Amino acid sequence: MVYSNDYLVQDFDTNLRYLNLLSKQYPTIASASTEIINLQAILNLPKGTEHFLTDIHGEYESFNHVLKNGSGNIKRKIMEVFGESLSEKEIKQLATLIYYPEQKLDIIRKNEESIDEWYKVTIYRLVEICRKAAFKYTRMKVRKALPKDFAYIIEELMHKGPYEADKEEYYSEIIKTIIRIGRADEFIIAMSELIQRLVINRLHIVGDIFDRGPGPDIVMETLLNYHSVDIQWGNHDVLWIGAAAGSEACIATVIRIGARYGNLDTLENGYGINILPLATFALEFYKNDDCTVFKPKVESDINYTDNDLKLISKMHKAISVIQFKLEGEIIKRRPHFSMEDRLLLNKINYIDGTINIGEKTYELNDYNFPTIDPKNPYKLTLEEKELIEKLKSSFLNSDKLQKHVRFLFANGSIYLKFNSNLLYHGCIPMNEDGSFKKVKIGSSGKSYSGKAYLDRLEILIREGYFHKNNPEAKLYGMDITWYLWTGSDSPLFGKDKMTTFERYFIDNKEAHVEKKDPYFKLENSEKMCKIIFEEFGLDPDESHIINGHVPVKLKKGESPIRANGKLLVIDGGFSRAYQGTTGIAGYTLIYNSYGLLLVSHNPFESTQKAIEEEKDIHSTRMVLEKEVKRKRVGDTDDGKTIKSQIKDLEMLLNAYRSGLIKEQT
């Protein structure tokens, strides 16, 4: 596109300052022209591969393995390059080496008789795979990804051309020298990590990094160091955000979940949260209570002594009662949340051990409440107040937790529009007729729905964490963050209520029922999807909704593919707790230049077995959509940005040639 002088003069006042700034970066006609040529060429490269994961729930081993193998993408690259020349055993060993280079090298060095020959062959193979993984990127982008110590060497080996037979000795000598001077291990590790990086261009985490699993902090550390990632917050994520902000109800809930699943180590060892005050409190007030109902649900591979379990049970009950009190304070403080039905402590008959919910009376399986005053059941005792203050101080002063939550804010949001896909964790609150539900926010009574509702919620979450100068705005933001964990119109929760109290204290399962938002009844409707796409400014013919949150129960015949492929639910059970009902260990999604691929995974045994026995996760790939014409960078959101940059550079070029801006020599 060429811009006339009239165009530049017409918009001179608005464009001149910007073009002068741009000229600092591209000071000559030659430099601006070179960048236009470069950007125009990039538009014609194949689209980068996107990787979608959701509902990790702290299961860091499974998560790390799927991340390292790119949902099977690395093995596919190996098959494309060496499928006809290597045995299945050799392919498995090469794949495992790329996933876990340091650990696998330790084993190979002990067992390989001719290690120098193995190094030579392996380095050649890694170079070929790396070349295959890098083909869709510019040399500049690959160069930026290269490990500093070996950047020059890798670049030389990767860009060996088909007509360079005369330089064969040159390339061979590079590899021989790497081995001779004892740098082969470091080189193989660097190459393996580079392949992992090149196979995936961008990672999307569609919610719930946190929960019952043993290592959400490890997952977060991995994401902190990942080259390109975005996160759509899940209800468990906002719960931790609220706790990090100082919401007492969120803090109590995070600790309760840790105690419920015997996973207080994440708090203590992962984030340095001091749980000792809770243990001391629980031993004092529940010393004669066996707290049977609150026995933690621990995985079979976690070893606790009987005394450990008894103490955790007491801590579990103590923090649960505090949670119910703190939630009551919020519900009373925010009547527009319409959560009065969740005020249950005042409905207990503390003499006969029953509770009235609606028109029904239920027997409680436990009604020993030494810290509850029946006349004022939501009032914290002096000891409870002191305890929650100590716990809050520990959360607020955990540097690691605060770093992780700031990363969630910097790289996260409630929803994301990216390359014609709409990503969000749970749902868009809807009415039974498929229209967007209007929800009141704030004491003013102003209602929001659809996209505007999600946008407003995100602003309030950020205010709840970052607002320093307005205590009331911060408190409201923290209360909204808690509401998103459990509220009836929360797009991250998606149910009319969370029956935590009932599940603990009432054995009758009819009291445990949680009604899903109408969204989940309508998710097979293409009409609903079209309404959502239009609301978010997306093309209904090209777009997809990508959800997590609700595990897909494959055993019961459920499919992750809804609404004729317009809506994809990719929570299939990363968390071991769900795998008994889902029948698999999670879905992931791959979106490359050829189309969409849904990948289902069998349960992951362990990192140790993956390394020692080369047991990869068995994954099944299903082609959802295949592009008739291969997608290029120019067809993506990045392509739109590049086209805009080209337009600006052409304006600068024309300004140089017109004399409106002088070249800088």
pLDDT in tens, 613-644: 776 665 566 666 676 688 999 999 999 999 99
- Average pLDDT (198-217) is 92
Phi then psi for 133, rounded to 5 degrees?
A: -70, -25
Look-up of token digits 């998710």: 523
- Average pLDDT (99-123) is 92
What gap in Å lies between CA 265 and CA 286, rounded to an integer?
22
Q: What is the pLDDT of residues 533-581, one digit of tens each?
A: 999 999 999 999 999 888 776 666 778 889 999 999 987 556 665 555 5
572's tokens: 């299939």
661: three-class secondary structure by DSSP: coil
321: three-class secondary structure by DSSP: helix
Q: What is the pLDDT of residues 48-65, one digit of tens each?
A: 999 999 999 998 888 888
- The answer to whether residue 95 scores a pLDDT higher than 80 is yes
Res 585: pLDDT: 61
What gap in Å lies between CA 160 and CA 267, rounded to an integer?
50
Phi then psi for 54, rounded to 5 degrees?
A: -150, 160
Q: What is the pLDDT of residues 277-300, one digit of tens each?
A: 999 999 999 999 999 999 998 875
Angle subtended by helix axes 235-245 and 382-396, to nearest 10: 100
What gap in Å lies between CA 296 and CA 559, rounded to an integer?
32
What is the average pLDDT score of the chain? 90
Res 214: pLDDT: 87
Buried b (16+ CB within 10 A) or exposed e, 264-287: bebbeebbebbbebbbebbeebbe
Work out the number of other CB atoms within 10 angstroms of the CB of residue 404.
24
DSSP state of 547: E
DSSP 444-477: TTEEE-HHHHHHHHHHHHHHHHH--S-HHHHHHH
Are 68 and 104 in contact by the 8 Å Cβ rule? The answer is no
Q: Give the pLDDT band (50/70/90) at residue 7.
A: very low
**Sheet with 348-349, side-by-side order of all strands:** 348-349, 354-357, 360-363
The sign of the dihedral angle between the CA atoms of 182, 185, 189, 195 is positive
- Average pLDDT (364-393) is 97
What gap in Å lies between CA 464 and CA 458, rounded to an integer?
10
Q: What is the pLDDT of residues 268-281, one digit of tens each?
A: 999 999 999 999 99
Higher pLDDT, residue 388 or 590: 388
13's tokens: 């006042």
- The answer to whether residue 461 scores a pLDDT higher than 60 is yes
Look-up of token digits 């690259």: 77
- Average pLDDT (145-169) is 79
Res 70: pLDDT: 86
Q: What is the pLDDT of residues 61-92, one digit of tens each?
A: 888 888 888 888 898 899 999 989 999 999 99
Q: What is the pTM of this model?
A: 0.91
The CB-based long-range contact list for 585-588 (8 Å cut-off, 24+ gap) reads: 585/62, 585/617, 586/53, 586/55, 586/62, 586/66, 587/552, 587/560, 588/51, 588/52, 588/53, 588/66, 588/71
Are 352 and 374 in contact by the 8 Å Cβ rule? The answer is no
Higher pLDDT, residue 27 or 599: 27
- Average pLDDT (338-363) is 95
Domain ranges of the chain: 5-45+636-658, 50-206+548-631, 235-405+443-516
- Average pLDDT (2-13) is 50
What gap in Å lies between CA 12 and CA 575, rounded to an integer?
58
Res 445: pLDDT: 78
Are 642 and 633 in contact by the 8 Å Cβ rule? The answer is yes
Res 159: pLDDT: 77
Res 38: pLDDT: 93
Distances (CA, A) of 164 to 139, 158, 195: 19, 12, 24
Work out the number of other CB atoms within 10 angstroms of the CB of residue 406.
14
What gap in Å lies between CA 292 and CA 198, rounded to an integer?
51
